[in-house]
Structure 1
């Protein structure tokens, strides 16, 4: 599935949440979507949990 289709689906989900549930539901769906995205990237191996806790200088040293 292309990233354009994923973006379309996410945008539609946020639109429906905002229309039917109000701004609070919109924020909840956006926050849960962001959390799900990060968890998915960690499970795919694209991110490591330690990446969120290291300083930028430590990240650069690890990748070299």
Structure 2
């Protein structure tokens, strides 16, 4: 699945959560989506948790 389709599905899910559940449901959905994304990135590759949260070097 392409990144555009994943982004579209995430936007739809956040929209439904915000519409039907209010702000807190929207916020909870966004946080759990970010956690799921981090877990998926770790599972798909050899990425360590520290590499996800480490800031990039800007030169």
What are the ranges of 5 or more consecutive residues in structure 2 without an aligned counterpart?
none
Q: Which residue of 1 aligns with 2:19?
A: 19
Gaps of at least 5 residues in structure 1 are: 58-64
Residue-pair matches, total: 57
Structure 1 or 2, whichever has the larger Rg, is 1
The structure, 1 or 2, with the larger RCO (C-alpha pairs under 8 Å, 6+ apart) is 2
Higher helix proportion = 1
TM-score normalised by L of structure 2: 0.81
- Aligned-residue Cα RMSD (Å) equals 2.1
- The TM-score normalised by the length of structure 1 is 0.75
